[in-house]
Structure 1
Amino acid sequence: MRRRMRIFVAVIFALSGAVPGISAAQSGIPGWLKAHVGTGEGQIAPVVLSRARALYQERVKRREVRNPCYMAKDATRPGGSGRYYIICEKQRVFRAVSSGHGNGRKLQRANFANGRQCARHFSNAEGSKLTMGGEYVTAKTRTSFKGYVRQSGKLTPFHRTFLLFDGRGETSNARERAIGGHQAVFVKWQCRMQMPRSPYADEEGYVPVGRLVDYTGGRSNGCTTWSGEATREILRLVENSPTTLYIYPEGRDIDAVARAVKARASLADAGLYWNSACLREIGAPRFWPKRKLQPVINRWRRSLPKTEPRELPICR
């Protein structure tokens, strides 16, 4: 009876559009890359690699991408683990680095906040601060001033480069959401200092001063974040040469896994994938479609009281 139920569930998920993980032998990947395929630490799950390669090969065939490398991310893995992948097949390069996931929000009408280690909630709604799986292509970069920080005993302006992503389908609003990649660090402003000769001074001659906060492997505002070393490598890789990025899971995957968990079915038997450690922690994932979550976020924003911008104290 249980076997019949598992077969029935697998058929239902297949009809729902869920794509099963494809084995290394079946996917036609190069032999050297097969050692990196799996669900262990530092490996890439078969379905993630299969979709990332298919996206890359499609864009190369259409001559939209000429970069010899492509990238992928498995947002079902725990934070701090190697869940962001840089793959250069001709050079036989495979690297797994840590990457953050969207922290979400806890609103009165909807709680879609994620934990530090594992992501349960996903969405493509603007302002959700959540990760959205699917297809992306890297675009141009923007470098902006974030504040002055004290380094080697002196105040130094800190700049952070933001790599824009262009999406398709569920990720087509990536620009609207200001979704991209950057180093997992920000300047926590503490005070303002008078520095009228600085090109970053305001009308009164003040500049913000703070301390650097590194959150590598932690949560983000929905962007893809990396360590300083990984950021420099990725920015060099895509400079003047865009490439593809595939982020797993998509909405269909999340819904299919949630149904499997509810039915107490085996993910493997149903041809589905989710990192087992994170699945134990979150119980079941949830996808919040833009059409449902966006109105909630918009109503919350309209309800916020109007306040004057907080003025930083003067540095002593």
Structure 2
Amino acid sequence: MRPRLFLFSVVSLGMAIALLGLPQTFAAEQSSNVPAWLRSHVGEGPNQIAQVVLQRARALYLQKVSEGAVKNPCYFAMDATRPGGSGRRFYTICEADQTFRAVPTGHGNGRHLKGTVNFANGIRCAKNFSNAMDSKLTTGGAYLTGEETKSFKGYYRTSSGKNAVLNRSFVQFDGEGGTANARVRLIGGHPAVVLRGVCLRKDPNSPYANRDGYIPFGKLVDYSLGRSNGCTSWSPSDARQIIPIMKDKPTTLYIYPESGDIEAVAQAVKAARSLSRAGLYWNASCLKEIRTPKFWPRESLEPILVQYRKDHPQAPPRPIPICKGS
């Protein structure tokens, strides 16, 4: 079954144009058409967006604008079938000022539960997708950006030898349909940075010190070219440009592929049918690498994960050690 596409009337498109103050040249476009300036960015080459990904992302955006749920002049899209690492597959599209930007982003790493099931993804290409709790996998479909929160992670030493604070931003995503559990899964967007090797250092004057006067201190690790726990992660420099667009101005994010796309492509591959002739899309380079994509429905995967947790209870967390020399 093909994923549902969003349909619009000319009246709805006119409402969207009026709300956003889009150029008159855009007003003449039908909702199913892409403006001329944006068509030059459509394709499967570097810094381009596949046609089906743009069409669905744009349709979702225009729908939410016509409903009054979105007034942001920009919207986002992601193509999780493209190579990860340095591959540019997260898109910021601002039709009002005719700007298009493509940047790298991570995909869900999945998990390999030894002796049970393996749905882990490599760094370059994603084979497995799911909306199951604790799967650590990406789910394609429709999202709205939500609130931004910042969490204190600790201190780290900069390249200049100074101590700095890591307060990492996180933008919550809210989904619909197959992505409706995005909030309970804590799915959102954030910079791809983390502190490793954390220990406690004495610093009673710090506003972040605990009751005993200690602060967490670790090594800042940038995993922009790696994977995530199912969230959308960007390099720190890209995050500084993307997150302000979302801040206090909800907008849409469409992630491709949806479950129906994955199942249709898998069936076509099994039958040795041409994707293009079947009207299907998957990045050719990654499809050659993964051979066949797979969607793991939460109804079947979550019971396996629940049983695995029961059979393999986690050990109590170890206390954070005191830094040497503190």
Quick one: distance in 2 between partners of 1:54 and 1:136? 13
How many residue pairs align between the two structures? 298
Counterpart residue number, 1:138: 145
Superposed CA deviations along residues 214-263 of structure 1, whole A, max 9, x for unmatched, are: 11132001000011121111111111111000000000000000001100
Counterpart residue number, 1:8: none
Of 39, 45, 52, the residue aligned with 1:47 is 52
Counterpart residue number, 1:120: 127
Quick one: distance in 2 between partners of 1:310 and 1:96? 41
Q: List alignment gaps of at least 5 residues for structure 1.
A: 1-15
Quick one: distance in 2 between partners of 1:269 and 1:110? 34
The answer to which structure, 1 or 2, has the higher relative contact order (CA under 8 A, 6+ apart) is 1
Of 263, 267, 277, the residue aligned with 2:275 is 267
Of 277, 287, 305, the residue aligned with 2:285 is 277
Counterpart residue number, 2:2: 17
The 3-state SS of whatever aligns with 1:274 is coil
The 3-state SS of whatever aligns with 1:257 is helix
**Aligned amino acid, residue 215 of structure 1:** Y
Asked if the contact 1:254–1:285 (Cα under 8 Å) also holds between the matched residues in 2, the reply is yes
Counterpart residue number, 1:12: none
Structure 1 stretches of at least 4 aligned residues deviating more than 6 Å after TM superposition = none
**Aligned amino acid, residue 89 of structure 1:** E
Superposed CA deviations along residues 72-126 of structure 1, whole A, max 9, x for unmatched, are: 0000000121100000112010000000000000013210000010000000001
Asked if the contact 2:190–2:233 (Cα under 8 Å) also holds between the matched residues in 1, the reply is yes
Q: CA 1:236–1:26 in structure 2 vs 1: closer, same or farther (change >3 Å)?
A: closer
The offset of 1:19, in angstroms, is 7.5
Instruction: Provide TM-score, normalisation by structure 1.
Output: 0.91
The offset of 1:300, in angstroms, is 1.3
Instruction: Provide TM-score, normalisation by structure 2.
Output: 0.88
Moved more, 166-175 or 197-206: 197-206
Counterpart residue number, 1:33: 38
Are 1:97 and 2:98 counterparts? Answer: no
Quick one: distance in 2 between partners of 1:99 and 1:174? 18
Q: List alignment gaps of at least 5 residues for structure 2.
A: 6-29
Of 176, 182, 185, the residue aligned with 1:174 is 182
Quick one: distance in 2 between partners of 1:100 and 1:306? 27
Q: CA 1:18–1:308 in structure 2 vs 1: closer, same or farther (change >3 Å)?
A: closer
Asked if the contact 2:3–2:258 (Cα under 8 Å) also holds between the matched residues in 1, the reply is no
CA RMSD of aligned residues (A): 1.7
The 3-state SS of whatever aligns with 2:163 is strand
Of 110, 113, 127, the residue aligned with 2:117 is 110
Asked if the contact 2:190–2:234 (Cα under 8 Å) also holds between the matched residues in 1, the reply is yes
